[in-house]
Amino acid sequence: MGSYRNRPFMLQWPGSYCDTSSSCCYPTTGKPASDFSIHGLWPNYNNGGYPSSCDPNNPFDISQVSDIESQLQTSWDSLSCPSSDGTSFWTHEWDKHGTCAESLFSQHAYFQSALNLRSSVNPLGGLSAAGINPDDGAYSLTAIQNALTSSLGHTPGVQCSSDASGNNQLYQLYICVATDASTLIDCPVFPTSGCSSTVLFPSF
């Protein structure tokens, strides 16, 4: 099993969540920004596996994050259907993943850490600096990985999905973080990528 050193911070590209054969629904707060949003912060084992749903006695309690709720709505919005304000997504992420780090983080600290991490990285800017933009264009996976590595200082895992026509597209970034939930580290393992050598970067 190994230690909990690998703590992936997963970002998603909204254009690719919405571009698949299953539909997406914009949050009740409106269309999100054209930027990477938070999917989750997961306490994984170094072999890539992870514990889940570690404490049914510590369910998500929205009142514990009321002071950062609007920031969560902006940066950790849910695109699944039906439209929601994000509460069900945060509930899922806390109950399944967050409870497995409850010895380190309160509910508030867990969500605040994710928001801090989101503010500390700028993958879209790093891609843009390399001429890679969400313009429905096709880009080389190597160019994407190189741009992200120079922007983050560490190589993230890059995951792709298929759009409604079956085209390979940039979907998620798997950024590895130390147990302090703030220091970026080299990933001990990468998740399955699913990317081909050329991937689309959908507009949103």
Q: Which of 69, 92, 93, 108 is catalytic?
A: 93
Determine whether 160 is exposed, middle or buried from the number of CB atoms within 10 Å of its CB (0-12, 13-18, 19+): buried
**Four-residue CA torsion sign, 122, 80, 157, 131:** negative
Would you say 28 and 84 are in contact if contact means Cβ atoms under 8 Å apart?
yes
| Residue 93 appears among annotated catalytic residues | yes
Could you give the string, one character per residue 22-41, with x where binding to ligand 5GP holds by CB under 6 A and - elsewhere? -----------------xx-
Distance separating alpha carbons of residues 32 and 11, to the nearest angstrom: 14
List binders of ligand 5GP among 68-127 (CB under 6 A).
78-80, 89, 92-93, 96
Would you say 201 and 133 are in contact if contact means Cβ atoms under 8 Å apart?
yes
Least distance CB 79 / ligand 5GP (angstroms): 4
For ligand 5GP, the closer CB: 174 or 201: 174
For ligand 5GP, the closer CB: 89 or 201: 89
Distance separating alpha carbons of residues 9 and 159, to the nearest angstrom: 13
Active site residues: 39, 93, 97
Summarize as ranges the residues that interact with ligand 5GP (CB under 6 A). Answer: 12, 17, 39-40, 78-80, 89, 92-93, 96
